[in-house]
Structure 1
Amino acid sequence: MKAIERIVNKAHLDRKRVVLSEAEDPRVLTAARMAVDKQLAYITLVGDEQTIAEAAERHHVSLAGIHVVSPQSSPLKEVLAERLYLLRKAKGMSYHDALEQVQNPLIFANLMVREGLGDGTVNGAVYTTSDVVRAALQIIGPAPDSELVSSFFLMMLCEPFHNLKGGLIFSDCGLVIDPNEAELASIAISASASAKALLMEEPKVAMLSFSTNGSAKHESVDKVRNAAQLVKQRCPDIAVDQDVQLDAAIVTEIAAKKLPGSQVKGKSNVLIFPNLEAGNIGYKLAERLGGAVAIGPLLQGLNQPANDLSRGCCAEDILHVIAVTAVQAQQDRNIEHTSPTSIKEGITN
């Protein structure tokens, strides 16, 4: 079974509430319909109700079983504006500013998740990555035990021509530009948790470099080696290879020659890139030249799931990210939501 099929099946077994904010886009409408029909998630669309209904009719998409919330007219507007004001007043936001911002569907969607009215949110078909990430960081915020919010791509190698089959986690390819040793270690630990949740496999981590086991001397190699040592200290149960070249990370025979003491033995399913430049180039090479399917960028380290889309995505891409978001929401984060009665009543009206 393909890795994405396992994720879809897992989402179906414990359906979560996923909030989408770009509901006038036909790709988002189609993905929402597919998610409900496949029983992957309960879907809420945020936006002007009449405009969404007209777009759905124009594109022949039924809204049956899909919840639609209009920020302008929802009874949640004032309550969520108050929450946003309290959250951001130290940064200079007034209540008037909050009341205006909460009418932005992206802001409204993230607030719904923060307040326990949704389990995760997916955006980015129209909004830019910077807008999506900023909203997630400012409203949902990092998990209590998270030192860093980072990103990853779920790379699918499932075609007959792929020598290496299955799913891989590539991190960080979309957010942290030049992580230091501690940040790189945090990225690796978060990516390992993502591998467990989404690949449903024990993580085997390769800390990528242009060096294997000290074959080159450079400060960038030292950073990777030191980060790997931090991972081993904090999570001794995670199999991790320090400063390893890509070929030794994914080819068993090369790992045996270059790194005979390897814990991973050329069977990595988590590839940690030394910086964003390498990660961005790496995932696009795998996608464009290697024929891998790239799902993401997905965010890790947040208090609740919030994921980004490529603006060039198709409906099926969005469906896959909805499934990933639902599975992320299934993980026990011991989150305590502040959902007063007024909010809970408002969502059912």
Structure 2
Amino acid sequence: MTHQPLTQDSARPWAPDGEAVVDLAGPVDLPRTLGIIQRGSGDPAFRVDPGVWRGGAAGTSGAGAWACFRMWSPQSSRELGQVLLRLDQLDVSRVRAGLWCAGVEASSEELATAALDRVPALLGAEDEGWEDFDLLLDALGDDQSTALARIRRRHPGVRLPATGQLLDQLVTVTLEQKVTHGQARHGWRELLRRHGERPPGPAPDWMRLPLTGEQLRRIPSWRWHQMWVQPPMAATVLRIVERASALHRLAACPGDAASLEDLQSRLTAISGVGVWTVAETLQRTHGAADLPAVGDYHLPALVGEALTGSRTDDAGMLRILEPWRGHRQRVVRLIRLSGYRHQTFGPRLSPADHRGR
């Protein structure tokens, strides 16, 4: 993947509607911070652009990302407009943001201002708990904490991002329920390729905007089948869409523990949305630092083997993570960053494809 310049050619200058340099006042590793948002190498709405990045300790100039999304009014739940965002890492702590807007209920200037205000949270500026976590690791001093501290020292620029895009992330994670990695990525990719719109500005050809609730409602059931989305998941997506207005309001919910606990209970009240779906969503929308994904097929084995040498289940994983309560998702992120791979047994699952029937 190559870095696409802000100016494509002399006939289309494509001056951004808004541009700013965000200084995080500390290391930010853009690829590793934002990588958890990207759904596979073919994600049509979000992709990290490594540029000349080769995996430095804190992030290296030349890394970047493309993103497109819709902005919603939390008061009226009306669509303010569509945004194309380009991020470029300038140095260890600074990232340049350039964006292009197509206003619906807001002008391009108002939309650009509102979108730029969200960029720091997307880059993890509100993730302020790592210092307390570092102190906790030092205070515990056990072998596991010492190992986690070593990983942390190798990756001081990793942060927990907060997209604020609650509806989009809920839909994306729902498509990942109880299916293989390939099926999940295929469903999201095909949904946007077949039904998504082009974002404004000099977007790469592959980019498509996430769908609105109304657009999702109009997709017939046979189309979901073509996209390899099982009927229970499609039904859950439609139930989520019925609450789109409320979700746009809830997206502005603070990221503190008490607010997130209330938000969890509201989201799990939607039939088909369980604790795993909520955890995977809030980790990305609100930077939830203490919300490991209970119910994940692989995570308990990974955490158990990495920290104790033995596989475990969800209950065992929570017991293992208890000493780091308040930072349990940070522990999971560090384990994944370490490169550790738990043992696997048996052949990879190859699900049957019944779409032609």
**Normalising to structure 2: TM-score of the pair?**
0.27
- Structure with bigger helix share is 1
Q: Would you tell me which structure has more strand in proportion to its own residues?
A: 1
Under a length normalisation based on structure 1, what TM-score does the superposition of the two structures give? 0.28
Indicate the structure whose relative CO is greater, using CA pairs within 8 Å and at least 6 residues apart: 1
